[in-house]
Homo-oligomer: A and B are copies of this chain.
Amino acid sequence: MTIQALGERIATVNDILCSLGVLVWDSRTMMPSGGAVSRGFQIATLTRTARDLLASDDTLRLVESAEREAAKLPADALDREAVRQVREAVEAHRRVPGDVIERRAAVRARANAAWIEARARDDFSTFRPYLQETVANTREYADALGWTGHRYDALLRLYEPGETLERLRRLFAELRAGLKPILAAARARPNGAGAILHRTFPVETQRDVALGLARTLGYDLSRGRLDGTVHPFEISFTREDVRITTRYNETFLRPALFGAMHETGHALYEQNVDPAFSRTVFATDLLGLYAVGGTSFGAHESQSRLWENHVGRSLAFWRLQFPALKERFPEALGDVTAERFYEAVTTVEPGLIRTDADELTYDFHIMLRVDIEAALIGGEMEVDDVPEAWRKAMKDGLGLDVPNDRLGCLQDIHWSSGMIGSFCTYTIGNVMAAQLFEAALASDDAIAAGLEKGDYAPLAGWLRENVWRHGRSRSREQILVAATGRGLETGPYLRYLAGKYGA
């Protein structure tokens, strides 16, 4: 009875967080510019309402009573895990004082405005005091949440539960060692095909093609829609309404197509969570306060990267899809073959900007950021030292000189948005994608056969069974161990990259 009552409480929280998602989606796609200030109030109010409901004495009493009931259930009962997750989130929220949260929101608003200005003027000193304030506030937030190994671990928990800085450092060491020779080999064979993607591609046609690719990969449009935005994203308001966006640039085809496939990967995860989990803790990030079915940011990224890179950035894929693409863009692609198009979308070229990075250099951008932000949070580096640390890491990692901070430490929105701790999930996603993809191919020959003939249902079926349907009822590591027999490991990822880009 109390487990049920607690479930109703969580359903209410989920409804509020789904509503919050609608506000966010609308603000990025449909809202007139004048609505921004009011929308800020609305988003803050719904966030606070969800948090207060969750952290209330009344909810805590429900949890305590539900725990007594759950103790009588079998050890592997889902209800036990549900109550455990609610308890953990309720306690975490109750540990963070209201004034820390308010400061966090206030700092974020100021820091974001300062970052926009600093980036426009290429002036780190404009952003410096706000980054200092952000770091200070994030430290107090981490301390309130609690940690044992490194203060950064408290933040990792928000995005990648169970992850620690110590583990990440081991992962990064393996990646750095493994990636360098592959990168060197790839750079020794420049293909010069990238320019193909910079011809003229009418935006209306790009839209049709992007939607067609999403549908081809299995995106259910009766429970979704595709819009255009500057920064592509996926967002869900229960599994029954999962929306994606992509970016259209008339003289650069890659963002629209690969943005759509990337976000489709995220969307497939959300659309295929067990329907029984809708409006439960297994479809809600109670700690981060948003409605999501994926079990961690890294696990989510594994699905977007799997569909974008392992499926979409493959020769088999373009041998099948390129003829139709060529028909849609006869002028731009008339002289191009599927093989050449594949070369264009797998060009390797180290650069300064993370969001433009190819498969081989992307993780260097991530590792550099994680190292810096962990040191800031741990107090091992000062904000003043960030630009120089960035330059040094870029030189060491990719051999590039950073001419200014706009192309360096001012390029990302994350720090000004208080999202310290989230960067690692991009690399975790890359590593996990390869591990799952390798296991899927090994488990059933029909999956590889399907990819060769454009039937993506066998792969989707395997992912649905092993990843998607579980929602947040299993952790990332539980999913990996059950699906691949091992926890997160770099082997499959390095094998995949070596096979695709190596000597």
Contact = CB atoms under 8 A, between A and B. Distances in A.
Interface in A174-210: none
A20 B20 CA distance: 10
Nearest to A12: B45
A56 interface: no
Contacts of A221: 32
Interface in A37-58: 37-39, 41-42, 44-46, 49
Contacts of A278: 38
A414 to B, nearest CB: 26
Given A19-B22, A22-B26, 7 more contacts: A11-B41, A32-B225, A34-B223, A35-B237, A38-B238, A38-B278, A42-B237
B42 A224 contact: no
Contacts of A42: 15-16, 18-19, 22, 237
Interface in A273-309: 278-279
Nearest to A36: B240
A50 B241 CA distance: 24
A274 to B, nearest CB: 15
Contacts of A224: 32, 34
Nearest to A222: B34
Given A38-B237, A38-B278, A238-B38, A23 B19 contact: yes
A46 B238 contact: no
Interface in A223-266: 223-225, 237-238, 240-241, 243
Contacts of A279: 38, 41
A46 B16 contact: yes
Contacts of A26: 22, 26
B34 A241 contact: yes
Interface-centre pick from A34, A223, A279 (highest chain B CB count, 10 A): A34
B19 A19 contact: yes
A33 B31 CA distance: 21
A238 to B, nearest CB: 4
Contacts of A133: none
Interface-centre pick from A23, A220, A243 (highest chain B CB count, 10 A): A23
Interface in A1-33: 11-12, 15-16, 18-20, 22-23, 26, 30-33
B225 A34 contact: no
A279 B41 CA distance: 9
A30 B32 contact: no
Contacts of A18: 38, 42
A238 B38 CA distance: 7
B37 A240 contact: yes
B237 A34 contact: no
A22 B237 CA distance: 13
A30 B237 CA distance: 13
Nearest to A25: B26
A49 B16 contact: yes
Given A15-B42, A38-B237, A237-B35, A30 B222 contact: no
A114 B26 CA distance: 32
Contacts of A220: 34
Nearest to A18: B42
Contacts of A33: 222
A243 B16 CA distance: 23
Contacts of A223: 32, 34-35
Contacts of A35: 223, 237-238, 240-241
A1 B240 CA distance: 45
Contact of A22 (B23, B34, B41): B23
A293 to B, nearest CB: 12
A18 to B, nearest CB: 5
Contacts of A41: 11, 15, 279
A34 B243 CA distance: 12
A240 B38 CA distance: 7
Contacts of A37: 240
Nearest to A20: B19
Nearest to A16: B45
A222 B202 CA distance: 27
Instruction: Pick the 3 closest A-B CB pairs, nearest first.
Output: A35-B241, A34-B223, A15-B45
A22 B46 CA distance: 13
A337 B278 CA distance: 59
Contacts of A20: 19
Interface string A342-382: 00000000000000000000000000000000000000000
